[in-house]
Amino acid sequence: MNSFDSKRRDLLRVGSLGVAGTVLPSVSFAAAKTGNAPGSSSAAAPGIGVFFNVHAFGAAGTVLPSVSFAAAKTGNAPGSSSAAAPGIGVFFNVHAFGAAGDGKTVDTPAVNRAIDAAASAGGGMVLFPAGIYLCFSIQLKSNVHLHLEQGATILAADSPLPGQTTGYNGGTYDPAEPNAPWEPYQDYGHNHWHNSLIWGEDIHDFSITGPGLIYGKGLSFGAGPGRGQQSGLRGFGPERPAGTPAAPPAAPPNPARMARGDYPMYQAEQPGVGNKAIALKNCHNVQLRDFSILKGGHFGLLLTGVDNLIIDNLTIDTDRDGMDIDCCQNVRVSNCTVNSPWDDGICPKSSYALGYARATRNVTIANCFVTGCYQLGTVLDGTWKKFPEGGRSYGTGRIKCGTESNGGFINITITGCVFEGCQGYALETVDGALLEDITISNSTMRDLISGPLFMRLGVRLRGPKDTTKVGTLKRILVNNLNCHNAPMRICSVLSGIPGSAIEDVKLSNIFVETVGGATPDDAQLQPPEKEDSYPEPSMFGQLPSSGFFLRHINNLEMSHVEIANATPDARPAFYLQDVNRADFFSITAPRAPSPSGDGAFALHDVKDLRIGWSRAAADTTLPTADNKML
C-alpha cells in the first residue's frame, strides 16, 4: 500500500469514532491528489477536519507546534482516542461534543469539552460551523484555536436580571474572581476577567478567528453601584471604583443616554452576570482575527497583561468600549472597524489591575476606522444609521491612551486611521504613568464632538499612595492630520499642570476646519486648572481659542498648521499660557478682534517664542510675552 493510502486508512479509523458535524471548508482540504498516488483521494471523516502536512509527503524541516494538531477525544466515544496519521492534523467540531447550535440549547458544556479535548491532545482547532451557539462562560486553553465559520454566532445567554440569581435556563456566568487589594485603583470591569462570555488566564499560543460573530446579547454594559435610585433606572449609571462610598442620589439620568438598543439591563456586580465579550489576563502569543463583535458589554475585548498580541480585521459594533489593551506589550492592531457611541473605540490603558504598574509599550495601531455616531448594530448590518439629530448618545468612539494610567504608554505609533462622528485622539496620564515616545500620522476626521487632539498630564493619582507620583507626557509627534467640521466649544487641548509641564511636542501638516461662531465674551474665558479631575476634552468647559488651547508646555513646535472657521469666530486660533520655548512656522489662521488689536495668538506667561513665515502673524521673536495678542 502506498504512503498516501496508509494515511487514508488511519484517517478512516479516526472516523470510526462516530463524530458528526460540518467540515470547515476554508481549512479542511478535501481529497488530495499526489504524485505518489495519481487520482487517489481521501474524504474527511464526519466531524473531523483534515489537512495534509508536507512532512507526510517527504518534505524536510521542523513541524510548527502551533498548527500541528494531534488527535481528538470525542464525547461520543468516552475515553476513546485516535492518533492522527503522521503528517495529518485534526480539528475539533463542537457538534462532535454535543453542541446543538440552535440558539436555544445552552452549548457551553459542549464547547468547553471541545476546548478541553483539543488542549489535552496538545493543541488543535475548535470549529464552530454555521449556527447559533448559546453560551455562558467559555474558558480558553493554551494551544487551542477557535474558528467561527461564516454564519456561526457565539451568543451570550441572558444574565440574571436584578433581584434574580440565575439567567437563561438557570445558567450563570463564571464568578468574578477577587482582585484585592488592587480593586480601588480601577473600575469594576477592569478588575475581573472570569465573568465574561469568553475568557482566558495564564495561557499562551492561542487564537480566535472569523468570519463569524460574537454577540453579547446577555451581557451587562458595565452598570455598577452607587447610582441614584430613580424609578425605572435604579442601579444604572456611571461606575465608581470598587470600595468607595456611594454618592448621594442625583438628578434622574437622561433616559436617552441610558438606551443602548432594545436590550435588558443587567447589574454588572451582581453574581452570575457577564459583562465582557472576551477577557484575557497574563497571556502571550495571541491572535484575534477576522470576526465581528456585536454588543460586547463593558468591553468587546479586555486584554490585560497580554504580550505578543495581534488584532486584525475585527469589526466591533458595541455599547461600551471596543477594545482595551491594558498593560500589554508588543501589540499590533490593524484594519479594524469600531463603532462605540457610548465609550472609547481603541483604548490602550495601563492600570494597576495586575497588582503592579506595568507599561503598555511597543504598540502599533494602523489603518483603523473609529466612530461614535452610528446606532448600535447598524454598522454590522450594513445600514449605517446615524443617531437622529438631538437623540445622539455620548458619541465617544475615539482612540485614547488612558484613563487608567499607572504604568505607562511607551513607544507607540498610530497611523492611517479614520475618525467620524466621535472624539479625537486622547493621550492622558493622570495616575503617574510615563507617556513617552508616541507618533501619530496620516489621520483624517469628520464631524467630531471635540477637538482632534487632547493631551492631558494631571494628578488624579489613583493608585497606591506611597508610590503613585505625577507622571510625564513628552516626546509626542503628530503629523498629517486633516479634520473637517470640528466643534465650536472644544478645540484641541494640550494641558499640563503648574509645576509639571508637557514636554517636547511637534505638530506638523495639520488642517482643522471648525464650525466657528464664538463671541468676544468667549475669547475672555479663563479655564480652571482642575489638576486632579477626570480627564476629558470637556473638562475645562468652553475654551477661549478656536484651534489650540496650549497650557503648561515646554518645547512646543508647530509647523504647516492651518485653522479655518466655517463661520466668523471672535476667539484667537491659539491660546498659550505658561509655555516655554514655542516655535510656530508656516501657520495660517484667521485673526480675531481684541481690545489690543486683531490677532491669532493670545499669549499669557510665554517665554522664548518664535513665529516665522506665517500668514497668521508677522515674523516675531519674543523672549517673554504676557497678556499680549499677536
- Could you tell me which residue, 83 or 623, shows the higher pLDDT? 623
- Please report which confidence band the pLDDT of residue 54 belongs to, taking 50, 70 and 90 as the band edges: low
Residue 262: the pLDDT is 80
Q: Which residues pair with 292 in a beta bridge?
A: 213, 315
Indicate whether 467 and 402 sit together in one domain: no
Residue 44: the pLDDT is 40
Residue with cell 502536512: 53
Residue 260: the pLDDT is 79
Q: Does residue 142 belong to any structural domain of this protein? A: yes
Indicate whether 117 and 180 sit together in one domain: no
- Give the span between the Cα atoms of 288 and 610, in whole angstroms: 48
Residue 61: the pLDDT is 53
- Give the span between the Cα atoms of 407 and 280, in whole angstroms: 18
Mean local confidence (pLDDT), 547-565:
98
Indicate whether 198 and 276 sit together in one domain: yes
Q: Does residue 599 belong to any structural domain of this protein? A: yes
Q: Does residue 256 belong to any structural domain of this protein? A: no
Residue 85: the pLDDT is 44
**Burial per residue of 25-53, b for 16 or more beta-carbon CB atoms within 10 angstroms, e otherwise:** eebbeeebebeebeeeebebbbbbbbbbb
Q: Does residue 253 belong to any structural domain of this protein? A: no
Indicate whether 220 and 367 sit together in one domain: yes
pTM for the complete prediction?
A: 0.86
Indicate whether 151 and 9 sit together in one domain: no
User: How does pLDDT run across 297-332, given as a tens digit for each residue?
Assistant: 999 999 999 999 999 999 999 999 999 999 999 999
Residue 252: the pLDDT is 52
Residue with cell 511607551: 410
Q: What is the CATH number of the domain that holds 358?
A: 2.160.20.10
Indicate whether 300 and 171 sit together in one domain: yes
Q: Looking at the predicted structure, is the pLDDT value of residue 479 above 90?
A: yes
The domain tally of the chain equals 3
Among the ranges given (49-63, 103-117, 267-281, 351-365), the one the predictor scored with the smallest mean pLDDT: 49-63
Indicate whether 25 and 85 sit together in one domain: yes
Indicate whether 273 and 180 sit together in one domain: yes
User: How does pLDDT run across 411-459, given as a tens digit for each residue?
Assistant: 999 999 999 999 999 999 999 999 999 999 999 999 999 999 999 999 9
Cis check for the bond before 211: say yes or no (omega within 30 of 0): yes
- Please report which confidence band the pLDDT of residue 89 belongs to, taking 50, 70 and 90 as the band edges: low
Indicate whether 413 and 495 sit together in one domain: no
Distance from chain centroid for Cα 224: 20
Residue with cell 505607562: 408
Cell digits of residue 630: 499677536
Phi-psi region of 384 (alpha: psi -120 to 50; beta: other; left: phi over 0): left
- Amino acid at residue number 329: Q
Residue with cell 457611541: 341
- Give the span between the Cα atoms of 409 and 363, in whole angstroms: 9
Q: Does residue 310 belong to any structural domain of this protein? A: yes
Contact 42, 32 (CB under 8 A): yes
Cell digits of residue 489: 466649544
Three-class DSSP category at 91: strand
Indicate whether 336 and 209 sit together in one domain: yes
User: Which domain-ending residue is among 422, 440, 472?
Assistant: 422
Q: Does residue 525 belong to any structural domain of this protein? A: yes
User: Which domain-ending residue is among 57, 88, 123?
Assistant: 123
Tell me the C-alpha to C-alpha distance, in Å, between residue 18 and each of 6, 42, 84: 20, 17, 15
- Could you tell me which residue, 405 or 5, shows the higher pLDDT? 405
Cell digits of residue 380: 454590522
Q: Does residue 436 belong to any structural domain of this protein? A: no
- Give the span between the Cα atoms of 597 and 610, in whole angstroms: 20
Indicate whether 412 and 465 sit together in one domain: no
Q: Looking at the predicted structure, is the pLDDT value of residue 67 above 70?
A: no
Residue 37 lies in domain: 1-99+112-123
Q: Looking at the predicted structure, is the pLDDT value of residue 102 above 80?
A: yes
Q: Does residue 88 belong to any structural domain of this protein? A: yes
Indicate whether 302 and 185 sit together in one domain: yes
Residue 294, H or E segment: strand 292-294
Beta strands 400-401 and 425-429 are parallel
